[in-house]
Structure 1
Amino acid sequence: MAECPYFEHLLVIPRLRVQNANAISSPLTHGLPSITAFLGLMWALERKTQAAGLDLQLNAVGVVVHRHQELITEDRFVSAFRLTRNPIDKDGSTAAIVEEGRIHLELSLIFAVQSPSLTETDQTLPEQVRELLMSMRIAGGTLIQSSAPRSRQVPYCLSLPNDEAEREQLFKRVRLRLLPGFALVERPDLLEQRHAALREIDPEASRLDAWLSLSRINWQYDATEAKWWHDRQGRGWIVPIPVGYGALSGVQAPGTVVHARDDRTPFRFVESLYSIGEWLSPHRLDNPRQLLWYADTQADEGVYRCRNDFQPPQLAD
Structure 2
Amino acid sequence: MEDAILILRHIKVENANAVSGITWGFPAITNFMGFVHSISRTLSSELNLKLTGCGIVSHSHQIQSHQPKGWGDHVFALTRNPLNKNGTSPSFVEEGRMHMDISLIIPVVGDLYEAGDVTEICSRIRDIVLTKRLAGGSIWDVASIDLEEPPDDIKGMTIYIRKQMKQLIPGFVLVQRSQLLTEHSEEIRKKDPESDDLDAWMDFSALKFKAERKENNQTDDNEANWSYQMRPGKGWLVPIMMGYRAISDLYKAGEVARTRDTTTPFRFVEAVYSIGEWLSPHRLQNFEQMLWRYDAQPDSGWYLCKNNYNPQ
The TM tier, using the shorter chain, reads 0.7 to 0.9
Tell me what 1:61 maps to: 54
Deviations 1:55-97 (A, max 9, x none): 3110001111111001112241211111124345699864212
Tell me what 2:127 maps to: 131
Q: Please give the residue correspondences for 1:234-313 in structure 2 after superposition, counting only pairs within 5 Å.
A: 235-313=234-312
**CA separation in 2, counterparts of 1:90 and 1:300?**
51
Tell me what 1:25 maps to: 20
Quick check: 257-266 or 299-308, which moved more?
Answer: 257-266
Q: Please give the residue correspondences for 1:36-185 in structure 2 after superposition, counting only pairs within 5 Å.
A: 36-51=30-45, 53-74=46-67, 75=69, 76-87=71-82, 94-117=89-112, 122-145=118-141, 153-163=143-153, 166-185=156-175
* Aligned partner of residue 183 in structure 1, secondary structure: strand
Deviations 1:283-311 (A, max 9, x none): 11111011110000100000000000101
Tell me what 2:204 maps to: 214
Decide which of 162, 178, 188 is 2:178's aligned counterpart.
188
* Aligned partner of residue 305 in structure 1, secondary structure: strand
Identity of aligned residues (%): 38
Shift of 1:167: 3.2
Closer, same or farther in 2 for the Cα pair 1:228/1:162, shift >3 Å? same
**CA separation in 2, counterparts of 1:73 and 1:32?**
16
**Code of the aligned partner of 1:14:** R
Per the normalisation by structure 2, the TM-score is 0.87
Closer, same or farther in 2 for the Cα pair 1:233/1:202, shift >3 Å? closer
* Aligned partner of residue 23 in structure 2, secondary structure: coil
Deviations 1:164-211 (A, max 9, x none): 565344211210111101111000121022112212211232111111
Deviations 1:230-283 (A, max 9, x none): 324882211100110000100112222222111121110000001100111111
Contact 2:203 2:232 in 1 (8 A): no
* Aligned partner of residue 164 in structure 2, secondary structure: helix
Tell me how many residue pairs correspond in the alignment: 299
**Larger-gyration structure (1/2):** 2
**CA separation in 1, counterparts of 2:287 and 2:246?**
31
Per the normalisation by structure 1, the TM-score is 0.86
* Aligned partner of residue 304 in structure 2, secondary structure: strand
**CA separation in 2, counterparts of 1:19 and 1:264?**
32
**CA separation in 1, counterparts of 2:232 and 2:185?**
18
Contact 1:63 1:110 in 2 (8 A): yes
CA RMSD of aligned residues (A): 2.6
**CA separation in 2, counterparts of 1:256 and 1:233?**
46
Deviations 1:25-78 (A, max 9, x none): 11x111211110111111110122234x22311000111111100111224121
Contact 1:16 1:106 in 2 (8 A): yes
Runs of at least 5 residues in structure 1 that lack an aligned partner in the other structure: 1-5, 147-152
**Code of the aligned partner of 1:191:** L
